């Protein structure tokens, strides 16, 4: 099966600019996650979707970050305006609870954001 | 916060077994132990998971203690390509609201 697709792979922007990331999960996976990974740290959850509804966005900085998952398939994560501390890798993952989540999550390769 | 503790880093000689420990003393009865690894510039990759019994697949073996408070991931014949950060995670598979909480993991360096 095809994996989780993310784009772009790399992005460099100036602070106060806006940026958007795109994720296409594995077909049929109802649950989609966005994680932020700062260099040297483990990934940190930003938001979790179940179909097109938000399950957990408690760690999403809502003053500047937003995410949507229209039609319960693809998802976009936006940052506006970006700060220097937003420099990180943004990982998208998906999972299927119908299989009991037995294999946990499948992650994409991530988008590396550099804010200068 | 992550419910697991792991050593920050480990070294292993190529061709030898790599044994990566993980403590999860507060694990609940319905929580699985998952292991993922992250090779540089890639997303985390699934390795193995288990509940109570020891598990083995083509990548690794997972040994869970009888009291389930700790586990060990074993890579039987480590290669240079196994150099990565290894994450141990406890997780319920029957709860839509739960999600993976990652700690800093163990950085494994396989040395030639």
**Which tens digits make up the pLDDT trace of B40-67?**
889 999 999 999 989 999 999 999 999 9
Binned at pLDDT 50, 70 and 90, residue A97 comes out as: low
| Per-residue pLDDT at A100 | 46
Q: Which residue of A has its CA nearest to B89?
A: A104
Sequence-distant (≥ 6) Cβ neighbours of residue A50 within 8 angstroms: A30, A31, B96
CA distances to A26, A99, B26, B63, B98 from A96, rounded to whole Å, are 9, 6, 26, 26, 13
Residue A100, classified by CB atoms within 10 Å of its CB into exposed (0-12), middle (13-18) or buried (19+), is: exposed
**Which tens digits make up the pLDDT trace of A15-59?**
999 999 999 999 988 889 999 999 999 999 999 998 889 999 999
- Work out the mean pLDDT of chain A and round it to a whole number: 92
| Per-residue pLDDT at A5 | 97
Question: Is residue A75 a contact partner of residue A33, using CB atoms and an 8 Å limit?
Answer: no
Q: Do A45 and B43 count as a contact with CB atoms less than 8 A apart?
A: no
| pLDDT above 80: residue B1 | no
**Which tens digits make up the pLDDT trace of B79-90?**
999 999 999 999
Q: Do A110 and B103 count as a contact with CB atoms less than 8 A apart?
A: no
- Name every chain B residue with its beta carbon within 8 A of the beta carbon of A42: 2, 85, 87, 102-105
């Amino acid at each position: 099966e095809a994996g989780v697709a993310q784009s772009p792979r790399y992005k460099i922007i100036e602070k106060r600019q806006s940026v958007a990331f795109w994720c296409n999960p594995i077909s049929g996976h109802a649950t989609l996650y966005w994680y932020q990974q700062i260099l040297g740290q483990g990934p940190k959850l930003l938001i979790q979707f179940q179909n097109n509804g938000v399950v957990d966005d408690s760690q999403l900085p809502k003053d500047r970050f937003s995410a949507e998952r229209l039609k319960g398939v693809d998802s976009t994560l936006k940052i506006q305006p970006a700060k220097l501390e937003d420099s990180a890798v943004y990982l998208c993952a998906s999972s299927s609870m119908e299989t009991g989540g037995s294999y946990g999550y499948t992650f994409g390769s991530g988008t590396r954001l550099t804010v200068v | 916060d992550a419910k697991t503790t792991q050593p920050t880093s480990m070294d292993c000689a190529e061709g030898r077994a790599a044994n990566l420990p993980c403590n999860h003393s507060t694990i609940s009865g319905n929580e699985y132990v998952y292991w993922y690894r992250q090779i540089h510039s890639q997303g985390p990759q699934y390795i193995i998971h288990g509940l109570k019994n020891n598990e083995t697949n083509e990548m690794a073996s997972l040994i869970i203690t009888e009291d389930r408070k700790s586990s060990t991931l074993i890579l039987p014949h480590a290669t240079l390509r196994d150099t990565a950060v290894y994450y141990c995670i406890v997780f319920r598979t029957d709860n839509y609201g739960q999600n993976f909480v990652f700690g800093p993991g163990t950085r494994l360096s396989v040395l030639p």
